[in-house]
Amino acid sequence: MTRAGYNYTASDAIPATFYSLILQNGGQYLADGGFSVNTPEGMKALELMKKFVDEGLVDPVLFNDEENWVGDSFFEETSAVGLVGPWVIPEYAGDFEDVAAVTEYVTLPSLSADPVFVASSGWGLAVSTNSQAQDAAWDFVKFVALNPDNAVQWNIASGTLPALKANATGAAGENLVAEFPYFEPFLKILEYGQNEGKFPDRDLVWYDITYPRIINFLQGNATAEETLETIEREVNESF
């Protein structure tokens, strides 16, 4: 295979798919202070992800974070569809203008009536506890991030989705879609996004545990049972 029909095997896409499918199957992976994916819902999620591979939508050996990463692959036209955020368009448009011009985002089908999915908190601003001007710094953060007029200017400048609900609709939403037409399907489903959850180290869970374990499973090197058991144990050990 030299081209992927659906490239969902990158380190952001695999955890997002896995945990979203658990929610769409009616499960929860964080409850009562613990983490659990070795469940019927977790098994259904893995089985569907493996079905995509078995039916030839993508070869996880050729398409992953180390080989044909989804952003590179899509704009180099070795992936017909890629699961990645809209930030890649302003990132790649300068070098791949023709591809960017015909790129369209579509809403993924959902297993549940409401298209629930996991969503990260995105980019943000922080103030150091060592700052000598913390009050002024926080005032500035509020000025640029919580004021809708200022926040939407950041979205337009950076090509990012709005963090404020107020900017997903109304005039702000219209301005964003006018500037970035491919935002439209995102703005329609933002209300269904659920925070990924509180982990001591979210990136450890996403990139050092979930991604490598599932890509190894999709490549045929572990069973679904082994994969779920390992992810659950390693994540719980991080708490």
pLDDT at 216 over 90: yes
114 and 156, same domain (yes or no):
no
Instruction: Please state the rounded mean pLDDT for residues 85-94.
Output: 90
pLDDT of residue 87: 86
103 and 16, same domain (yes or no):
yes
pLDDT of residue 17: 98
17 and 47, same domain (yes or no):
yes
Q: Output the 3-class SS for the chain.
A: CCCECCECCCCCHHHHHHHHHHHHCCCCCEECCEECCCCHHHHHHHHHHHHHHHCCCCCCCCCCCCCCCHHHHHHCCCECCECCCCCHHHHHCCCCHHHHHCCCCCCCCCCCCCCCEEECCCCCCCCCCCCCCHHHHHHHHHHHHCCHHHHHHHHHHHCCCCCCHHHHCHHHHHHHHHHCHHHHHHHHHHHHEEECCCCCCHHHHHHHHHHHHHHHHHCCCCCHHHHHHHHHHHHHHCC
50 and 129, same domain (yes or no):
no
Q: What integer best gives the mean pLDDT of the chain?
A: 94
pLDDT of residue 83: 97
191 part of a folded domain? no
Residue 85 belongs to what domain range?
4-120+196-237
189 part of a folded domain? no
62 and 142, same domain (yes or no):
no
CATH of the domain at 63: 3.40.190.10
Q: What is the pLDDT of residues 9-28, one digit of tens each?
A: 999 999 999 999 999 999 99
pLDDT tier at 33, thresholds 50, 70, 90:
confident
Instruction: Please state the rounded mean pLDDT for residues 93-115.
Output: 94
105 and 23, same domain (yes or no):
yes
pLDDT of residue 1: 55
